[in-house]
Structure 1
Amino acid sequence: MMQNDGRRAGFGMRAICFAMDTLGLSLLLALIDRYILVTSNTREYPMILTILSILYFFLLPVLWKGYTISKYFGSIRIAKVNEEPLTAYHLFMREVIGRFLLGFTTFGISNLISAFMVMFREDKRAIHDFIAGTFVVKVK
Structure 2
Amino acid sequence: MDVSNPAGFWVRLGGNIVDGLLVSITLGILAGLIYGQWFSLETTWLDVLGLPYYLLVPVFWYGYTVGKRAVGVRIVKLDGDNVTFWTMIKRDIIAGLLYGITFGIAAIVSAFMIGIRKDKRSIHDFIAGTYVTHDPPRSPYESGK
Alignment TM-score, normalising by the size of structure 2: 0.83
> How many Å apart are 1:53 and its aligned residue?
3.3
- CA change 1:112–1:53 in 2 (3 A) is farther
In percent, how many aligned pairs have the same letter?
Answer: 37
> How many Å apart are 1:18 and its aligned residue?
0.5
> How many Å apart are 1:34 and its aligned residue?
1.3
- For structure 1, the 5+ residue unaligned runs are none
Q: 1:92 aligns with which of 73, 89, 92?
A: 89
Do residues 65 (structure 1) and 32 (structure 2) align?
A: no
Do residues 125 (structure 1) and 125 (structure 2) align?
A: no
Amino acid at match of 2:10: G
- CA change 1:3–1:46 in 2 (3 A) is farther
Contact conserved, 1:77 with 1:136, CA < 8 A, in 2?
A: yes
In the other structure, the counterpart of 1:16 is 14
Contact conserved, 2:54 with 2:65, CA < 8 A, in 1?
A: yes
Amino acid at match of 1:75: G
Contact conserved, 1:22 with 1:53, CA < 8 A, in 2?
A: no
Q: Deviations over 1:42-100 (max 9, x none)?
A: 13358743x233221111111111110011121100001112331111111011111x2
- CA change 1:41–1:72 in 2 (3 A) is closer
Contact conserved, 2:31 with 2:37, CA < 8 A, in 1?
A: yes
Give the whole-Å Cα distance in 1 for the aligned partners of 2:45 and 2:12.
Answer: 24
Give the whole-Å Cα distance in 2 for the aligned partners of 1:45 and 1:13.
Answer: 30
> How many Å apart are 1:23 and its aligned residue?
1.4
Give the whole-Å Cα distance in 2 for the aligned partners of 1:4 and 1:83.
Answer: 8
- 1:11-50 correspondence to structure 2 within 5 Å: 11-39=9-37, 42-45=40-43, 48-49=46-47
Contact conserved, 1:4 with 1:124, CA < 8 A, in 2?
A: no
Q: Deviations over 1:16-39 (max 9, x none)?
A: 110111111111121111123324
**What's the secondary structure of 1:130's corresponding residue?**
helix
Cα RMSD (Å): 2.1
